[in-house]
Amino acid sequence: MESFILYNGDPSLKIPDCLFKGTKTLQLMDMTRVQLPTLPSSLQFLEKLQTLCLDYCGLGDIALIGELKMLKVLSLMGSNIVRLPREIGQLTRLQLLDLTKNPTLEIIPPNVLSCLTQLEDLYMENSFLQWGVEGLDDRRNNASLAELKDLPYLSTLYLHITDPMILPKDFFSKKLERFNILIGEGWDWSRKRETSTIMKLKINASIQSEEGIQMLLKRTEDLHLDGLEGVKSVSYELDGQGFPSLKHLHIQNSLEIRYIVDSTMSSPIVAFPFLVSLSLDNLNKLEKICNGQPVAESFSKLRILKVKSCPMLKNLFSLHMQRGLLQLEEISIIDCEIMEVIVAEESGGEADEDEAIKLTQLRTLTLEYLPPIHKRVLQIECSFHITDQAGAVNH
């Protein structure tokens, strides 16, 4: 027998201690929702085992796993372990370690992760947060982030770092191909993922200029930014190349951002050429999405635009952005106190009807809690709803 797969719906099921004594040829074992307060001692005889999945199991002491020297894949998803045993560091052939959905995990002993020198994929979504700080306390009880720098083949990393100040210098490797990295408190893990590179950042100005962060920003496809400091123009100041890989951008809670793109700041570049969705929330000083005339291909893939609580935003678009709006399918404008027109001339006036941008793909238009509309500002053929300041809905 080479594979043993057990999906269990009976919490009273017991695994005999000697069950695997005669199955030395096993290469894959997958047991789900099995209560294993103590691992069967016969597990140590599985000298050829390469994949071990103990997902959503009731686990106690799992130190015996360290005897499986040929192991390449170890998944402990959702098993609510409290401590990763030091013996895991003996798995020098391990290529994938999945600790997803283990919020009870409090202890990873120092120098365990750094021993997994063949590790390629490390998943710690909704899991361990108690990182130690190397150099500050030689008696620390937990692994430090610096240990991950010793993993030369690491290409996939899912990780939440609540305190940005413990980030080691040059922490992020150029070898990372797939990542879901949360930095700062208050972030939740996304349930829906459409991309393989995701970053959520709540960091101060000194950290956001760190070279490793900048390197990952250029390769991120889904970016969330909260509380940016010292940034007035997102595209110009965070990525001088115009975010060529970005598909989804959400920015919230900034007191300084004035523009998403400022085409007057440097030589023209294509900004956000593959951006599909843009969400702007609680940006107190945002004046324009795009200042100046952008390069024609900018925003050319944009399908969803959501703006909420931007009290200084008067106009959503300018005529200069015409080519970048042809794919728009959904527009949402909520609680923007001085919003006057949706499409305006660059000088700030209302767009003439003959020059109006034709949003032929638009399917949903949501306008909520805006100033009274005195003039016709948009003519389209679609269904939409408008909620006035009193909460009344007109279709």
For the chain, domain boundaries:
1-154, 227-395
Question: Model confidence over 165-194: pLDDT tens digits?
Answer: 888 888 888 889 999 999 999 999 987 778
C-alpha distances out from residue 63 to 27, 41, 87, 159, 244, Å = 19, 11, 6, 24, 46
Q: What is the pLDDT confidence band of residue 256, given thresholds at 50, 70 and 90?
A: very high
User: Which band of pLDDT confidence, cut at 50, 70 and 90, is reported for residue 139?
Assistant: low
- pLDDT per residue over 348-358, tens digit each? 444 455 555 67
What's the mean per-residue pLDDT of the chain? 87
- With a pLDDT cut of 70, the percent of the chain lying above it is 88
DSSP code, position 65? G
pLDDT at residue 329 tops 50: yes
Q: Which CATH class is domain 1-154?
A: alpha beta
- Please tell me the pTM assigned to this model: 0.89
Mean pLDDT, range 362-387, rounded to an integer: 66
Per-position b or e across 150-187, b if 16+ CB within 10 A of its CB: ebeebebbbbbbeebebbbeeebbeebeebbbbbbeeb
Please give the single-letter amino acid code of residue 33: R
